[in-house]
Structure 1
Amino acid sequence: MTVCTRRWGAAFGLSLLTAGCTAVPQSGGEVGEPAPPTFSTIGLENVMGQTAHALEAQFGEPDLDIREGAARKLQFASQVCVLDAYLYPPERGGEPVVSYVDARLPDGRDVDRASCAAALTRRQEAR
């Protein structure tokens, strides 16, 4: 094997190695931008797009209220589940509204978001 052949082989092997590390853009996004989360909002019509005041009227006082800049996270908990509602101001400005919801059981396992919201509504009615 000649020096030229070994160099070509090494260069080819190196190019194959680095090809696997190349970032490929996601559809509709730039390299490195996370894709927006997609999840069903069926059953969450009374939560998505609502203000903090509307959520408090529906679920009572939040168990946790965290603000970071213009964003806000409200957490509502019961013995059945924990619901986290993330509020962000609309693009045109104004009062922050719920843009994302997450739910889990008290032990941390995932639970259906709509079922949790319904359970928390019943919690408020029981007060």
Structure 2
Amino acid sequence: MNRLLAAVPILLLGACSAAVPPPRSTPPPVAAAPPPTVVRPVQNNSLIGQSADATQRMFGKPRLDVTEGAARKLQYEGSACVIDIYFYAPRAGADAVATHVDARTPDGRNAEPESCVAALRR
């Protein structure tokens, strides 16, 4: 009987060690990065496709130059209108180009971008 009592703690310890899962030998999978977004312009005016450097040569120093993530916005202001030009890279690794243009009068009404370009170039 003493032998049987001596074997009980060994059996209990063996049962406890079997309940612990073995450590993982491989790390958990890492989620892949999403594919880069391709930006396609939907507007058609003389600024679309231009670089920020080209617009600065055209209009001079911008009133605002804002970068947020992969986007950049240049804003130019004249007495007739305000124009915002948005730049994005058309594909991964490419230089950013103008993909969208907003134009408005100084009081906030919508303006036609080409008329604003002409007014700002004077």
Q: TM-score range by the shorter chain?
A: 0.5 to 0.7
Partner of 1:52: 52
- 1:94 deviation in Å? 2.0
Cα distance between partner residues in 1 of 2:112 and 2:51: 21
Partner of 1:81: 81
- Report the RMSD for the aligned CA atoms in angstroms: 1.7
Cα distance between partner residues in 1 of 2:81 and 2:87: 19
Identity rate, percent: 48
Q: What is the TM-score with the length of structure 1 in the denominator?
A: 0.61
Give a deviation string over 1:34-67, Cα, whole Å, max 9, x none. xx8854x2xx22x110111000000110000100
Cα distance between partner residues in 2 of 1:106 and 1:37: 26
Partner of 1:71: 71
Contact kept, 8 Å, 2:82 with 2:104, in 1: the verdict is yes
Cα distance between partner residues in 2 of 1:72 and 1:84: 10
Q: What is the TM-score with the length of structure 2 in the denominator?
A: 0.63
- 1:121 deviation in Å? 1.1
Cα distance between partner residues in 2 of 1:92 and 1:120: 32
1:88 partner amino acid: Y
State the 4+ residue runs in structure 1 displaced beyond 2 angstroms. 36-39
In terms of Rg, which structure is larger?
Answer: 2
Contact kept, 8 Å, 2:41 with 2:99, in 1: the verdict is no
Cα distance between partner residues in 1 of 2:59 and 2:114: 13
Cα distance between partner residues in 1 of 2:52 and 2:41: 21
Partner of 1:28: none
Q: What SS is found at the alignment partner of 2:119?
A: helix
Query: Where in structure 2 are there 5+ consecutive unaligned residues?
Result: 1-39
Partner of 1:13: none
Partner of 1:10: none
Aligned length, in residue pairs: 83
Greater relative CO (CA pairs within 8 A, separation 6+): 2
Q: What SS is found at the alignment partner of 2:90?
A: coil
Cα distance between partner residues in 2 of 1:95 and 1:37: 14
Partner of 1:98: 98
Cα distance between partner residues in 1 of 2:42 and 2:49: 15
Q: What SS is found at the alignment partner of 1:58?
A: helix
